[in-house]
Amino acid sequence: MRILTQESVAVLIDMQDRLFLHMHEKDMLLTNCLKLIDGLKILDIPMLITQQYSAGLGPTITPLIEKFTEFKYIEKNCFSCCDEPAFMDSLGQFKKPVTLLFGIESHVCILQTCIDLLDKGLFPVVIEDCISSRNVADKNIAIARMRQEGARITSCESLLLELTRRAGNERFKSISRIIK
């Protein structure tokens, strides 16, 4: 399955202050997520952002908020984004079959959202170097499970270049600067 810009929407899941502090390799996670957001913006991929129980876990981390001129998020209390009606309404408005997933935690909200998207006949793509859990074993088990369930697993650089499709144009040059 080729991942195409016109068929894709991205979902940043629960990258919140109090949860992010405990993530495995959080500095690398943040670096990769910032690159991914920059690349998705260049490629005009729409993005949805969720926050899990904001009163307890705090807001989305500041470096990510600063990437958006108008920051909006969908509040949720369910682990799966798909169990939140506001999320499903927002996702449905795009009418795109491919959902690019990144954020935290791999073995909870990412995994459950991924499985539910598959159940709904959509194609989740998990950006492996843009997800994390507190424990690396939980992340690895979640990735194996998502792959077993039928999700596509990729990396930030691979995804951005697949979406770009060709070199020698301004979009490629912009993406190239991000991933170097």
Mean pLDDT of 71-98: 97
Kindly list the catalytic residues.
14, 76, 109
**Prediction pTM value:** 0.96
Give 180's pLDDT tier (boundaries 50, 70, 90). Answer: confident
Task: Give pLDDT, residue 168.
Answer: 83
Digit-coded pLDDT (tens) for 12-58: 999 999 999 999 999 999 999 999 999 999 999 999 999 999 999 99
> Considering the chain, what percentage of its residues have pLDDT values greater than 90?
94
Please report which confidence band the pLDDT of residue 166 belongs to, taking 50, 70 and 90 as the band edges.
confident
pLDDT of residue 121 exceeding 90: yes
Distance of CA 13 to the CA centre of its chain: 6
- The two tokens of residue 26 are 């959080």
Contact 146, 153 (CB under 8 A): yes
Separation of alpha carbons 31 and 147, rounded Å: 24
Residues making up the chain, counted from first to last: 180
Domains, the chain, ranges and CATH? 5-179 (3.40.50.850)
Say if CB 50 and CB 73 are below 8 A apart. yes
Give pLDDT tens digits for 125-164.
999 999 999 999 999 999 999 999 999 999 999 999 999 9
User: Long-range CB contacts (< 8 A, 24+ apart) of 36-40?
Assistant: 36/10, 36/102, 36/127, 36/130, 36/156, 36/159, 36/160, 37/12, 37/64, 37/67, 38/67, 38/178, 39/156, 39/160, 39/163, 39/175, 39/178, 39/179, 40/10, 40/100, 40/160
